[in-house]
């Protein structure tokens, strides 16, 4: 959102832009630009370099947070449905990676402002003219303020990362417990199936060594089973032959009709 001054904040804003795909870059000591790479471009001028950098830092952190929220929105909706699933593990890792990205952004800002502050301090040490000393002291003061802002942002990002790590630690514990319970249930199922298989195998062996007589008095031995197998094969061949005969009969009738009725 963009206002001419602080007094306009109580009224309707002059425009808005999505931070998810926004491009933020500085123009001079007091001016920076926010654009979406297309139709929207806002040129914003602060009252000082410190205020400009404060806004740029806040917007960059808000942009990183907006990207993280958009990427994790769908995962949060499916968190309960995918408990203990690989998707949830991926969501945990991605969340920590996003937090690490915020830390890296803050670290880059700190490195940038620290280098600028170091240059100003070096120039101040080598300056001997009183007028230059006053101006350099002002620059050092401003850049030290920028370094302080970046340091505070870094501390905030570290606190958020620590909180996320602790929260996800409890989730990891729950996921590990869920995996352990699943493994235990699977082991119990395998043991039960093994016991059932052993019982069935023992019953089959006992049945194989004991002759079984039906009410006709026939002994169901291997030879009789072979005879039944041959009979079933013969029945199958006969059915197949019967089907072929029917097809041949239909074709023969068709050919006969074609010959008699050209």
Residue-wise pLDDT tens digits, 98-137:
878 888 888 888 888 888 888 888 888 887 777 778 888 8
d(CA 127, CA 135): 10
Per the DSSP assignment, residues forming a β-bridge with 31 are 45
Looking at residues 1-24, what average pLDDT do you find? Answer: 65
User: 23-26 and 31-35: which strand pairing?
Assistant: antiparallel
Q: Is the pLDDT of residue 194 over 60?
A: yes
**What confidence score (pLDDT) does residue 58 get?**
83
Among 44, 39, 31, 30, residue whose Cα is nearest residue 1: 44
pTM of the model: 0.41
pLDDT tens-digit readout, 127-184: 777 777 888 888 888 888 888 888 888 888 888 888 877 777 777 777 778 778 888 8
Percent of the chain with pLDDT over 90: 0
Higher-confidence position of 28 and 38:
28
Q: Is the pLDDT of residue 60 over 70?
A: yes
**What confidence score (pLDDT) does residue 37 get?**
74
Q: How remote is the C-alpha of 194 from its chain's centroid?
A: 38
- Burial zone of 99 (CB within 10 Å; 0-12 exposed, 13-18 middle, 19+ buried): buried
- Residue 215 — pLDDT band, cuts 50, 70, 90? very low
The number of C-alpha atoms within 13 Å of 83 and in the hemisphere containing its C-beta is 8
Q: How remote is the C-alpha of 189 from its chain's centroid?
A: 32
Which of 11-25, 41-55, 204-218, 244-258 holds the top average pLDDT? 41-55
């Amino acid at each position: 959102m963009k206002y001419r001054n602080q007094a306009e904040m109580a009224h309707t804003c002059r425009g808005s832009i999505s931070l998810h795909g926004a491009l933020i870059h500085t123009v001079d000591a007091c001016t920076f630009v926010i654009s979406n790479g297309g139709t929207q471009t806002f040129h914003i001028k602060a009252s000082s370099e410190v205020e400009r950098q404060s806004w740029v830092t806040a917007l960059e952190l808000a942009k990183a947070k907006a990207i993280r929220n958009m990427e994790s929105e769908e995962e949060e909706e499916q968190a309960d449905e995918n408990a203990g699933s690989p998707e949830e593990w991926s969501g945990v890792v991605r969340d920590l990676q996003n937090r690490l990205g915020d830390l890296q952004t803050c670290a880059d800002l700190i490195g940038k402002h620290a280098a600028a502050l170091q240059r100003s301090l070096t120039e101040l040490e080598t300056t001997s003219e009183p007028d230059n000393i006053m101006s350099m002291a002002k620059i050092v003061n401003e850049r030290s303020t920028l370094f302080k802002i970046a340091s505070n942002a870094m501390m905030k990002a570290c606190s958020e990362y620590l909180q996320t790590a602790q929260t996800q630690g409890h989730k990891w514990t729950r996921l590990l417990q869920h995996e352990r319970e699943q493994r235990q249930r699977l082991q119990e199922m395998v043991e039960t199936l093994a016991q059932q298989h052993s019982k069935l195998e023992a019953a089959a062996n006992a049945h194989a060594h004991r002759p079984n007589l039906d009410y006709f008095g026939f002994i169901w031995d291997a030879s009789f089973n072979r005879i039944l197998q041959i009979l079933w094969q013969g029945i199958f061949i006969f059915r197949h032959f019967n089907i072929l005969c029917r097809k041949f009969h239909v074709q023969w009738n068709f050919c006969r009709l074609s010959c008699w009725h050209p």
